[in-house]
Structure formats: structure tokens, C-alpha cells
Amino acid sequence: MPRTSIEKIRSTHGASADHIDHIDHIDHIDHSWSMMGGRARVLIVGSPAEATALAEQYGALLEGHWSRFVASSDLSRLAAAEGASVAVAPETVTLLLAMLDGWRETDRDFDPTLLPALVAAGYGRSLVDPTRATTLPVSARPRGDLEAMRIDVGGVVTAPLGVTLDPGGIGKGLAADLIAAELMAAGATGCLVDIGGDVRVTGEAPDGIAWRISIDDPFDKNESRGVVRFADAGIATSSQRKRRWLTESGMEAHHLIDPTTERSVVTSIQTVTVIASTAARAEVLTKPGFVRPMDDYLAWIPNRGAAALIIDADGVECTSSNWSDYA
């Protein structure tokens, strides 16, 4: 695999890793591949080249467990069970618990049970491979009760009748977190994991100081809105400018569903970027930014141990009070 000393990663979703100059004293591995409908990329410090195979193989395992476009995945089998119990992988239990935590923390602004509404809006097939489709049971309904989901010892899960789960962004964020943990356990001294724009960094950066993440301009992917720096955290950007399509009525829709209307959210806000303790939490905490009053959201987010940047349709930036701690 190629080894580089200075590298810039630009994602498709809003964040990129931009390392400072003069870091030749620390060697690192750079590897990318296709995953979860987009690109995945890792920068690994202090680990043998074989670590890239570990990252890719573990990523494929996670996608196989979680994809809504794979009939044999844990989430697809759980949906098809229509209230019956299903044995799932430990990683899927981790995902379900993360969904439940996010659902509670955001007072349901993050709601992974909106999959039927997303499919009804026109996102039933993969946008990168239309031969892959989501199949929902007749009972499927949006706005299900995650509190009623039961997870027993040994990974046996019972979801309420009608509840179907969309891994969406939280799946990408959690995948970045889990792959990063695997790489560190395998001997890396530091790594950056980027799954479709959800980024987790931990350990030693290639410059020996801190990881640098460039925030893409939502109107021009070749431009940056600045750089943030941190040592061990996650960053995610949710954007209504990605994953758009025309409905049967000719209306434009996107993948961010408003839990209240069960349709694509209507707002002038184009992107919400959040820095949090993990990439999964960062993903979850972006969602209220599209449905709450901006001032309320920006006042709330620091209380969750996170920081946020919002960019509206006019290109105006608004940030939480603690965003400057990372700039």
C-alpha cells in the first residue's frame, strides 16, 4: 500500500483531513476502498501494511450485518421477522444500542425508525447500485417505539411489530469508530478512519501533534470553510445537498426526513457539521440542527459535549459558542 508523508483527504460529505507540512519524520499508510455506497479511507500511523486489509475486511463485515439493501443482513432479517426474535452479531447489538441512545438524547429528532418514510419518499434503491433495493414488510410503519425493543443476553433481539431500522449515517459513523478501535488494538499508534465523510481520529497524528480536518464548502467541494484540530474525536456532516432525487410527482426530495412530517425536511440549512466524542455521536447530533430553531440548537449542542457549524442557503455560517475551541 502507498506510504505518504503529507496527504489531504477530501470527503464527499463535508469533512476532509488536511495534515500540516513537514511530517516526514512519521511514516503512515494511506488506503481507500468502496464501502457503504461511497468511499472509505484510512490513514494508519505506526502499523504494518497488513492493517489495511484488517480495516477493509472489518468494514465489509459491518456492511454485511447492517445494510438495508442486503436481504441477509441483521437489520433486514430483523425487519422481516415482524416482531419475532432474531439472533444478531455483537456489532449489530452495538449499533442498536447506539440508535437507542441517540433517539433518547435528541428527543427523537434522530429517529432510525423512519425507514418506511424514506422509502415512500423515493429512496428505496441504492443510488450507486439500483439493482439493490430495500424490502419492507407489510407491517412497516415510521415513528416506531425503540423503547419497546428488547435485546437479550447473547444478542437475541426482538423489535416491535412494524419497526424497521435505517442504519444511515449512524452506521457509517459507528463503522468509523469500530474500525479505528480495531486498528489501535492491532498495534497502530494512531489512525484516521473516514467512512463516506464520517471521520474518527485517535492516537498519534502523522505530524505528531494533532489531526487536522478541513470543512468543505457545500457549494464548491474544492473550497474549504476552514480547518479544525483535535486529537481523539469524531466529526460528521449531514447535508441536504447530497442524496437527492425526483419523486414520481416531479418534486425534488432528499434523504433527511423530518420526524414530524415524515417527508424530506424543508429548511434553508444546507449542512450541519458536528464534532463529538465519536463519529457515531457526531452523526446523531447533526440531525436536530435541521429541525430545531437554529439558536436553540446552537445553545443546546455544547451541553452535549459537542460543537456545531451550520451553513445556510446563502452560505452564511453560524457556530456554537465552543466551535472556536477546535478552529
pLDDT tens over the chain, length 327 residues = 332 222 333 333 455 543 323 333 357 899 999 999 999 999 999 977 789 999 999 999 999 999 999 999 999 999 999 999 999 999 999 999 999 999 999 999 999 999 999 999 888 888 888 899 999 999 999 999 999 999 998 899 999 999 999 998 999 999 999 999 999 999 999 999 999 999 999 999 988 888 999 999 999 988 999 999 998 999 999 999 887 767 776 677 888 999 999 898 999 999 999 999 999 999 999 999 999 999 999 999 999 999 999 999 999 999 999 999 998
DSSP one-letter code for 69? T
**Domain-embedded: residue 43:** yes
Does residue 75 belong to any structural domain of this protein?
no
Distance, in Å, from the CA atom of 205 to the CA atom of 189, rounded to the nearest integer, reads 9
**What pLDDT is stored for residue 14 in this prediction?**
59
C-alpha cell at 1: 500500500
- Does 123 fall in a domain? no
The answer to the question of residue 13 being in a domain is: yes
Does residue 153 lie within any of the structural domains? no
> Structure pTM?
0.91
Give dist(CA 63, CA 43) in Å, integer. Answer: 20
DSSP secondary structure of 217-282: ETTEEEEEEEEEEESSEEEEEEETTSSEEE-TTS-EEES-B-TTTSSB---SEEEEEEEESSHHHH
Number of domains in the chain: 1
Q: What is the pLDDT of residue 3?
A: 28
Identify whether 107 is part of a domain.
Answer: no
Which structural domain range is residue 184 located in? 3-63+170-205
Q: Distance between CA atoms of 175 and 181, rounded to whole angstroms?
A: 10
161 falls within a domain? no
Whether residue 198 is contained in a domain is answered as yes
